Each structure stands twice: as C-alpha cells, then as structure tokens.
Amino acid sequence: MVRNRRQFLGGAGAIGLAGLAGCISGFGDESDHAVQIGTVYATGGLGDDSFNDMAKRGLEDAQDDFDIAITETEPSSESEFESAQRTFAESGVNDLINCVGYAQADALAENAPDYPEQDFIIIDEVVEEDNVRSYTFGEPEGSFQVGHLAGLLTEREFAAGDGETIPNESVVGFVGATETPLIESFEAGFTAGVEYANDDAEVVSSYVGEFNDTAAGQEAARTMYQNQDADIVFHAAGRTGIGVFQAAQDEGRFAIGVDDDQSLSNEDFADVILASMVKRVDTAVYSAIEDTVNDEFEGGVERLGLDDGGVSAVYGDTLGDEIPEEISTQIEESKQAIIDGEIDVPHEL
C-alpha cells in the first residue's frame, strides 16, 4: 500500500568505482544507520524545482522517519547512468538503489540481472526484473485536469495576479522537453482536457529537447504568447519550464507547472502560475524506502493515479482563490468522472 503523506487539492566484476567517486555525495554517516539508500537522479539534477526535487523530498521525508543514510549522484548525461547504477550496486552497502527517470530503464535492464540480491526502483518506466519495483503514474489524467482548467479559462475574460486572458482567441500552449512517449502523454491528456472544456480552443505545442534549458523554454513560450495568442501554457519540461514562467510574467499571461506545486517552489512567479499538475514522485520514493526498512520490499509495478492522489491538479497558492467557483466545480466533476471511468483519457497523441 502506497502511503500518501500530504494531501493536495483536487553479480558482475568490479566496475570503475573511483571514476564516479567524486560525483557521489551523501548525508548521514553510513556506518551509523541501519539502512543505506543510493539514488541516481535524472539528468538536469537537483534544483529543478520539479521531478528530481520531488524525489529528494521523498528521501528527506524518509530520513525524518527512519534510520537511514543516503548517498546520491547527479549524472550529467544519459551515458553515465549505467556506470552510476553499477557503482552503487558494486559497493555492496546499499539496501535500495533509486533510479529516477525513464531514461535509466535501458541501463537498469542491463544492470539488475547482474545484481540479483540488490533491490532497485525505477520511476516512470517498467523494468521487468524480480529485484526491480517500477513506479508509473497517471500523467495523462492529471494533465487532463489542468487542460480542462485551461480550456475553461481561455474562452472567458479572466485576470488575476499579473496575468490575463485574451478571450476572443481561445488558444493555449504546451511546452515539452524531450519528444518521448512519456512527455507526449502529458500533452495528450492536456489536449483532451482542453477539448473537453472547449471544442473551439486551439492547443499549440513545442518540444525543446532539453530538461535544463530555461532560455529555450522561455523562447518557446514567448512565441506562443506573442505570435499565437496563447493565454495559458502548460509545461512538462523540468527546469526548462522555469523559462515558461518567465515568459508568462513578461507577457502578462498565465502558466501551469508540473510535478511539484511550482507556485510554492517558484514563488517569484506565483502571480502567473494558475495551477500545477503535481506528480507524487516523493510518495513513490518514500514508499519504497519504508518497505525496505520494514523488510517488505518486493519487485513489480505500482501505478499511482488520480484516484489515490498519485497525480492531481493543485491550484496556485496565490491565484487559486481567484478561480471562479463554477470552474473549480467543473474541474472536481471531471476528476470524479475520470476516476469512475466515465471519461476515457488518451495516453497517446
């Protein structure tokens, strides 16, 4: 049973250990703790105010509650994933290794069989090995919710904080990082939600190819705001999405965040962040550590969706109270309809 700790709205030979030693950091003296946890973050690293930082939050919450020590590494490229995973496994001290992000799947599929006594988790992809627990999420369903919100607001005159809509245009945007099935599933759900709210609304999209390029995110969103009359832009782009917030603020429009409640993690842009599609990566990490501590860890696939709070639409901390009640009521109704199976949300474009 996955534990939701907060409530929101709505055997191989030796590998070159020394080569990565300088890239590994930790908190907690390993010799003083009962359980050791290794974490390999996604490229883009910590400080993204999004996906990696949510994983870090799960680690920190677990450290508050359990007797654990943590080591972590932030690979700069996908080519480093295999050696980073092997470094942690080869050390022989880690009870659990967290592999954060779908891009680590190929490396883990190679590594996991070589270390059958080593437990792993992977976030956002499935690796079918007995010693791997794979966590997937209902990103399209959560994205549908924020798309529904965007579709309802774009057709009306709405001003709040530092943003306002252009009601005679009904255009919203999506900025993605890599053009991959996972990120495209965000767009698919978002577009379906917009269309559910407003058949006449247009969704424009752009993929910038990077999770850590704020300038590219800013330029993509600025083009949507200036040249395509978009009112609201939703991003699924990690730290690249901070550029979307910058563009929204510069242009006096709105944005929607992802993974974390980005109106809190990016307070400087809270006046333009309508909502965030929160994805409970922290819950997944915490749950796996809890099971490891309790000697209950098993491999398999766990999906966290809209029904159990694994994803959710969270209104912005500053702008949430400005959302008209008739709109928030419709968002809640569509949430229940998705949970009840009355709305079938597409997972592909």
164-218 pLDDT, tens digit per residue, is: 999 888 999 999 999 999 999 999 999 999 999 999 999 999 999 999 899 999 9
Instruction: Flag whether pLDDT at 9 surpasses 90.
Output: no
pLDDT at site 26: 55
Instruction: Flag whether pLDDT at 21 surpasses 60.
Output: no
Residue 166: HSE in the Cβ half-sphere, 13 Å Cα cutoff = 18
How far is the C-alpha of 269 from the C-alpha of 304, rounded, in Å? 28
Q: Is 164 helix (H, G, I), strand (E, B) or coil?
A: strand
- Could you tell me the end-to-end alpha-carbon distance of the chain, in angstroms, rounded to an integer? 32
Non-local (6+) Cβ contacts of 148 within 8 A are 193, 194, 196, 197, 330, 331, 334
Using one digit for the tens of pLDDT, what is the confidence trace for 238-267?
999 999 999 999 999 999 999 999 999 999
* Average pLDDT of the residues in 68-81: 95
As a whole number, the mean pLDDT across the chain is: 91
pLDDT at site 50: 82
User: What pTM did the predictor assign?
Assistant: 0.88
